[in-house]
Amino acid sequence: MATWVTHFRIAERILETDSAFERIPFLVGNIGPDCGLVGADGRPEPPKTITHFKTENGISSDLFKQTYLDGGTTKSNTEWSYLVGYYFHLVTDEYWVRLTRAKKEEPIVQAIVGTPDYTRLVKTDWYGIDFEYLAKHPNHIFWTDFCHIDAFEDVLPFFPQGQTGQQIQNITSFYKTHPFDPRHEYVYMSPPEVDDFIEEVLCGLQAKIQEVQHIHI
């Protein structure tokens, strides 16, 4: 799945050009699916099959949309903004799955696919890109808004009340305690690749933004 800062960057870009979404709920919605908390067995609860609306074909943003956004149910702008952010997170993750599948075809990545170090090596680059971006963008929405959220009322029924707020604190702590290492050398993914990915997702979301706004009218 895409990293949290990748989701933040997409949310920030949308908020820069679209005032229909309530800022904090939309921002939190963009990390909403990742608010399962790891239990004693090392697995998130609720499981990703629930939070990411997985079917036999993988993540289904369409299933989430049909369940929570379609149907004409009247929602407050706060709730709607959160749900749209959640939906966009799932769309972004669908793009991310395609990206990582394509990356596995590259010889340098193929060399580690299936090894015990695969996840660690790949995610070292993924999160290194996050740390670098946050270090170079002190006015990014993570610093100006997200890390100042003290609590958030859970919207979706499969999250216990307070769980999203706890995950907000966990994510904030994670990024604040992992400074950027300027000596890091990117091997399996680079900052320009993530930049291009974000532009691709934003382009793909344009029609979906208009669609969800039409639903809400």
User: What is the band of 192 on the pLDDT scale with cuts at 50, 70, 90?
Assistant: very high
**pLDDT, tens digit, 9 for 90 and up, residues 144-176:** 999 999 999 999 999 999 999 999 999 999 999
**Sign of the CA dihedral 18, 22, 23, 27?**
negative
Place of tokens 């697995």: 43
pLDDT band at 217 (very low <50, low <70, confident <90, very high): low
pLDDT at 174: 97
Are 213 and 168 a contacting pair, CB within 8 Å? no
Give the chain's radius of gyration (CA, Å): 17
Closest to 10 (Cα-Cα) out of 201, 190, 207: 201
Q: How far apart are the first and last CA of the chain?
A: 31
Record the pTM.
0.95
- Of 39-43, 107-111, 148-152, the poorest mean pLDDT is in 39-43
Are the CB atoms for 35 and 51 separated by under 8 Å? yes
Distance between CA atoms of residues 45 and 36, nearest Å: 5
DSSP, collapsed to helix, strand or coil, labels residue 38 as strand
Q: Strand, helix or coil at 103?
A: helix
- Tens digit of each residue's pLDDT (9 = 90 or more) over 126-144: 999 999 999 999 999 999 9
What per-residue confidence (pLDDT) applies to 75? 79
Q: Which long-range contacts (CB under 8 A, 24 or more apart) does 202-208 make?
A: 202/10, 202/13, 202/14, 204/91, 204/95, 205/10, 205/14, 205/88, 205/91, 208/87, 208/88, 208/91
Structure confidence by residue, pLDDT tens digits, 53-76: 999 889 999 999 999 999 756 579
Cβ partners under 8 Å of residue 43, min gap 6: none
Banded pLDDT at 96 (limits 50, 70, 90): very high
